[in-house]
Amino acid sequence: MRSPEDELAELDAASLRRTLRPVDSPQQPESIIYQKEVTSFASNDYLGLATHPALRQAATEAIETWGTGSGASRLITGSLNPHRQLEEFIAKAKKTESAITFANGYTTSVGTLSALLEKGDTVILDKLSHASLVDGARLSGATIRVFPHNNLDKLERLLQSTSQSAEPNRRTLIVTESVFSMDGDLAPLREIVALKEKYHALLLVDEAHALGIYGSHGMGLAEQLGCSAGIDFHMGTLGKSAGSAGGYIAGSKAFIDLIVNKARSFIYSTAAPPAQAAASLAALKLIQSGEGAALREKLWSNLRLFSELTDSPRPESAIIPWLVGDSQKALDLSNQLLDQHSILAPAVRYPTVPRNTARLRITITAAHSEKNITQLCEILNSLA
């Protein structure tokens, strides 16, 4: 029998072993890591809402009213008001008939895909889709097809062949992210919607890294591109720009009812704490407000500054992949930034990204100061 020590040694040899990093401060640019002050460029809290007074107040008031836990699955103990209010707001914001929330983004992906699909159906995923989407597709038992990243020609060929061979009453579901989590680039959503409609397929778009950042109301890339109506399933997370936690799926009432009845990660999980739902609702309201618009402008101003100071193309999102290639070199560079310059820019390696594409995953937020960004850029330029 193999030992865990042997497996860990293999990970060490391949520079792929992960460790948990102790943090003794809230998630914000100035953090305390390994008991020293550092500037973090690791968080997905793109608008800096995780410590916002409005979210703190909403969570505190919810604890006072509803307590700290939900007791059980919502199908057992019922739906608390904070969950219902949050889902009604999401459905309205996404212009859909209904919405349902999960405890986190991973359970949203796994639960939704395994509820919507079964053996005989087909799911067609972008090659760079998040691991949770891939896992959900595998659990569903559906036939899985993968198209090269953002390759519309290959997507159309897969849709064409699937439509010709599919049996009656079988579903074909296209799955993509709007902003890809490791490269920070954007999906051609308008074109994908057109293909989906041409071949009578369904479309799920994960806006995890787009919510709060794009659109006149901050509801994501689909809102910005004006193609929301062509998307059947709007997925997202409340743990990134919304500064809280949880995931959501919005769509037609019938499909959402089906997910409630078939998503095992929803049925068999204790509901998220009511304070989490209350904080998420406060965040979404803030994102749609004038303050939210100002935070988005601050974020994009910070991204423009990074581009100017590093003489690099303007980022398409808050995610900046600083490509290194070799896993050990990426680890060494990340450690050098932390140890010598008190900057946290985590190394991302296989299997999170393809082999030989290890990189620093740098995230810029609205909470970063001009001084934070200038310091980072000066150091990166000196290492180039």
Catalytic residue among 31, 70, 181, 334: 181
Same domain? For 110 and 213 the reply is yes
Positive or negative, the CA dihedral 269, 270, 271, 272 is: negative
CATH number at residue 377: 3.90.1150.10
Same domain? For 227 and 325 the reply is no
- pLDDT of 159 over the 80 cut: yes
Same domain? For 40 and 72 the reply is no
The answer to whether residue 228 sits within a structural domain is yes
Which one, of 28, 18, 17, lies nearest residue 344 by Cα?
28
Strands 36-40 and 30-33: antiparallel
- Alpha helices (runs of H) in the chain, residue ranges in sequence order: 4-13, 53-66, 74-77, 81-94, 105-116, 131-140, 152-165, 189-198, 221-225, 253-262, 264-267, 274-287, 290-310, 327-341, 370-383
Is 240 tagged catalytic? yes
pLDDT for 223: 98
Same domain? For 197 and 110 the reply is yes
* Residue 200 pLDDT grade (very low, low, confident, very high; cuts 50, 70, 90): very high
* Mean pLDDT across 348-362: 92
The answer to whether residue 172 sits within a structural domain is yes
Percentage of residues in the chain having pLDDT higher than 70: 100
pLDDT digits (tens, 9 = 90+) for 5-26: 999 999 999 888 988 989 999 9
Catalytic residue among 44, 70, 228, 372: 44
pLDDT for 27: 85
The answer to whether residue 128 sits within a structural domain is yes
- Residue that terminates a domain, selected from 269, 287, 305: 287
- pLDDT of 384 over the 70 cut: no
- pLDDT of 179 over the 90 cut: yes
> Dihedral through CA 176, CA 178, CA 184, CA 187, nearest 10?
70
pLDDT for 15: 85
The answer to whether residue 312 sits within a structural domain is no
* Residue 77 pLDDT grade (very low, low, confident, very high; cuts 50, 70, 90): very high
pTM above 0.75, yes or no: yes
Is 209 tagged catalytic? yes
In the block, which residue shows the tokens 């904080």? 279
The answer to whether residue 8 sits within a structural domain is no
Q: Give the whole-angstrom CA distance, residue 329 versus residue 312.
A: 21
- Residue that terminates a domain, selected from 287, 307, 329: 287
Cis, peptide link before residue 274, omega less than 30° from 0: no
Same domain? For 260 and 190 the reply is yes
> Dihedral through CA 22, CA 28, CA 31, CA 34, nearest 10?
10
Same domain? For 219 and 354 the reply is no
- Residue that terminates a domain, selected from 241, 265, 287: 287
The answer to whether residue 165 sits within a structural domain is yes
168 or 275, greater pLDDT = 275
Same domain? For 271 and 351 the reply is no
Same domain? For 219 and 340 the reply is no
Write the CA distances from 207 to 9, 62, 180, 238, 255, integer angstroms.
Answer: 37, 27, 9, 10, 19
Q: How many domains does the chain contain in total?
A: 2
Is 252 tagged catalytic? no
Say which amino acid occupies 274. Answer: P
* Mean pLDDT across 358-368: 96
Q: Flag the least confident range among 25-39, 281-295, 298-312.
A: 25-39
- pLDDT of 33 over the 90 cut: no
Catalytic residue among 87, 126, 177, 183: 177
* Mean pLDDT across 121-143: 97
Same domain? For 126 and 19 the reply is no
Same domain? For 22 and 85 the reply is no
Is 181 tagged catalytic? yes
Is 167 tagged catalytic? no
Beta bridge partners of 250: 99, 234
Same domain? For 34 and 63 the reply is no
* Mean pLDDT across 31-48: 94
For residue 352, the tally of other CB atoms under 10 A from its CB is 17
The answer to whether residue 282 sits within a structural domain is yes
For residue 144, the tally of other CB atoms under 10 A from its CB is 15
* Mean pLDDT across 189-196: 98
Q: Give the whole-angstrom CA distance, residue 16 versus residue 328.
A: 8
CATH number at residue 147: 3.40.640.10
For residue 152, the tally of other CB atoms under 10 A from its CB is 14
Show the domain range for 276. 53-287
The answer to whether residue 70 sits within a structural domain is yes
* Mean pLDDT across 253-258: 98
Catalytic residue among 240, 280, 317, 368: 240
Is 206 tagged catalytic? yes
**Sheet containing strand 343-344, strands side by side:** 30-33, 36-40, 343-344
Same domain? For 120 and 261 the reply is yes
* Mean pLDDT across 237-261: 98
Catalytic residue among 87, 183, 206, 232: 206
